[in-house]
Structure 1
């Protein structure tokens, strides 16, 4: 892929505006993350309380993301996103007030954290769908990869600047900076030209498209997408909670201490940036890429369990972090491209829930294993399980991609007995979300199949006399 194509999505004016605003907002968000963690730890002296704050921000995703997906599919995105940014800014200002005055204390911090998670849960699918309208289909994968790059770079910059600010003046200023950063997103929302966007309102197509239940029903009929989500869950829960395993390795076998953990966290962050560049350079992100990245990450995780020292461990987690971003970007791309447009918001909500559940399940599981079996054994065991799951998913995906679907149509023909026309459609290129549109056949004409890229269609006419 040409070098210029690495940033292909930036050719779109609307995406350039959005990406710049997103970068500013991400920096502010990670400043606030650091500030909240520091404030809670200093106020309570308890790492458990700090973890509880993180849980409060993540928990609403499990309950509200689906409804955010419904809103994303049925309402205009721009007003929803503006309202979300205003709410985020108000909540960040509330944190600044608590940090500066002490009014409300920890109960108010917990309440604001929960409210922030609720706003993020509803906003996520709306923002995902909105962002996909800023580029064309060919550059959507590139746009998602650049989004990962923006998030990774913003995280590194935000945490680095936040550490300096919190040490100098305390966390209150961090919360104020984050509140101001949401103004950049609001300005971008007004600056984006509506004329360059497709219609943002997805009309209600009746009961089958009406709400959250319709979204679940749709997902049940998408076996390939379900397999991708299931694999994402396994890889996320067993192979992505490196905050836990890196800490356990640093404090245990590597004997690297807090400084070593900080070093490994920085290496992991750099790996995510490299992974975003790799994903951006790929012309397409398909299920083969997902399986290859899953196998790479799982195999290297096993090797990481055998690493003798901090530097060798760091050298291994660098490509693991890169593979993790490629996995996320690929699943996100397929969720956007291989789904019905009227259901895309709900599919993105399901993807968000999958990520939250994988973190909620994987972190305590890996922590328990590290405590009882040992950090090295945990990495080896989890990596092996993830590798087996990836192989199983690869086999299942291959079967789904080559499964034949038979459709039977009744075609009346003048002055001739009714004939049943059976079509055998081998889904090859796009099994998930593909629609086979069969055109009505006129007497003597060939019946056509459309809507499947690279599909094989065979016709068999059976006399039904």
Structure 2
């Protein structure tokens, strides 16, 4: 494939056969995953009597294992064939969805069952997520990676657009029974497993596996910490992932407590947020190079401002309308941050660095989701949006100040002030002045391509 061909078209990654298989199966499987998430949230509200803390706790149990297992999943991603690992993790996730569906269908479900299964699903997902993140680069190669990351987000949010609406309709048609959503999700994993098995391994851009050795996890952590640009991206991911990306809690509580609507209307709200996220992901598909750090900061602040305004909407329909640009702003930040990290790391460390990134982005959810749930329970559901947005704006402001200070230090280090010198004897040869490093170059890691 020529450079010109690789750089044209919003869907250019789909020209790669292996990626087409992966993308198509992912759309089916993720639609089922979103159906399960809506069904799980609704089931918890049914079993707990609309308890916001319980809803936050189930989210924490699903994402909490990322703190313990996410980094180890990155080590495994660098050490073993990623395709085989994904077959194993996708099989386990499908079986867990099947167990939950059967428990609900046979009226044997209790709240603690949902908690245990959510924790088990989170444990498998903690290993699966960094492997999937690193596997995308092997599917398409470095030239198409920014586009593939954006298309993955497009697929994710396309599924988010369809899955909640279908889940809401199924639950409503079944008079509140969530079993159909879980059973459908269990069946959807077969598509991803089949696609992985049908891929041509000779066409994968596999990096040489890292031999088993002591200290590989520490090596990945030290590498990320030594890079100021990666520290910035990880910090933003941690704060926004903990406090701002909690729509699964805040939208559900707004639907039940503020607007008093049922499963169908709740599904519509989630669909509105997904529609915005999908548009944000599509906007990002044109990117061909690594984003600038200041773009990450601006995107974080814009997402925070939209979140604050969204929480202040007084009616169901105004809230639904504001969810669209809020979702778009969140996905523009998320895709840019993900691409920024993936395009700035050594391929043999990509699994470990992406595991650290995913741990930052999702690992704060066990703290943030129950906290946001408690805030909503104590002060009202709108304050969940307001608090999350305020944290994003504050994080962006701190990051902007840090970047400005770093640029000022670099300028001072590279500019030589004029001095008056008295020479005795032969005239000295004048030294050439050292110029300041341009802002765009100094803002990124050395040798890294950037784009606005």
Q: TM-score, normalised by structure 1?
A: 0.78
Instruction: Give how far 1:267 is off.
Output: 2.1
Contact 1:75 1:201 in 2 (8 A): no
Q: Which residue number corresponds to residue 288 of structure 1?
A: 294
Q: 2:348 aligns with which of 342, 351, 356?
A: 342
Contact 2:58 2:118 in 1 (8 A): yes
Using the TM superposition, name which of 64-73 and 371-380 deviates more.
Answer: 371-380
Q: Which residue number corresponds to residue 257 of structure 1?
A: 260
Q: Given the superposition, is the C-alpha separation of residues 246 and 199 from structure 1 closer, same or farther in structure 2, using an over 3 Å criterion?
A: closer
Structure 1: gaps of 5 or more residues: 407-422, 435-450, 455-465
> Superposed, which structure 2 residues align to 1:2-401 within 5 Å?
5-43=9-47, 45=49, 47=51, 49-102=54-107, 106-169=111-174, 170-204=177-211, 207=214, 210-246=215-251, 256-258=259-261, 263-286=268-291, 287-304=293-310, 307=313, 309-369=315-375, 383-397=389-403, 400=406
In the alignment, the residues of structure 2 paired with residue 104 and residue 378 of structure 1 have an alpha-carbon distance, to the nearest angstrom, of: 29
CA deviation profile, 1:119-148 (whole Å, cap 9, x unmatched) = 111111111111221113232122111111
Instruction: Give how far 1:351 is off.
Output: 1.7
Instruction: Give how far 1:102 is off.
Output: 4.7
Q: Given the superposition, is the C-alpha separation of residues 381 and 190 from structure 1 closer, same or farther in structure 2, using an over 3 Å criterion?
A: closer
Q: Which residue number corresponds to residue 429 of structure 2?
A: none
In the alignment, the residues of structure 2 paired with residue 432 and residue 6 of structure 1 have an alpha-carbon distance, to the nearest angstrom, of: 25
Higher relative contact order (CA 8 A, sep 6+): 2
**C-alpha RMSD over aligned residues:** 3.6
* Structure with greater strand share of residues: 1
CA deviation profile, 1:266-309 (whole Å, cap 9, x unmatched) = 32221111111111133445123312212222333444455454
CA deviation profile, 1:160-213 (whole Å, cap 9, x unmatched) = 222333344543343332222111111111222111112354223865xx4322
Instruction: Give how far 1:65 is off.
Output: 0.5
In the alignment, the residues of structure 2 paired with residue 182 and residue 251 of structure 1 have an alpha-carbon distance, to the nearest angstrom, of: 31
Query: SS in structure 1 opposite 2:366?
Result: helix
In the alignment, the residues of structure 2 paired with residue 190 and residue 248 of structure 1 have an alpha-carbon distance, to the nearest angstrom, of: 41
In the alignment, the residues of structure 2 paired with residue 111 and residue 378 of structure 1 have an alpha-carbon distance, to the nearest angstrom, of: 26
| Alignment coverage as a number of residue pairs | 418
Contact 2:57 2:370 in 1 (8 A): no
Query: SS in structure 1 opposite 2:298?
Result: helix
Q: TM-score, normalised by structure 2?
A: 0.80
Q: Given the superposition, is the C-alpha separation of residues 323 and 119 from structure 1 closer, same or farther in structure 2, using an over 3 Å criterion?
A: same
Structure 2: gaps of 5 or more residues: 414-433
Q: Given the superposition, is the C-alpha separation of residues 250 and 182 from structure 1 closer, same or farther in structure 2, using an over 3 Å criterion?
A: closer
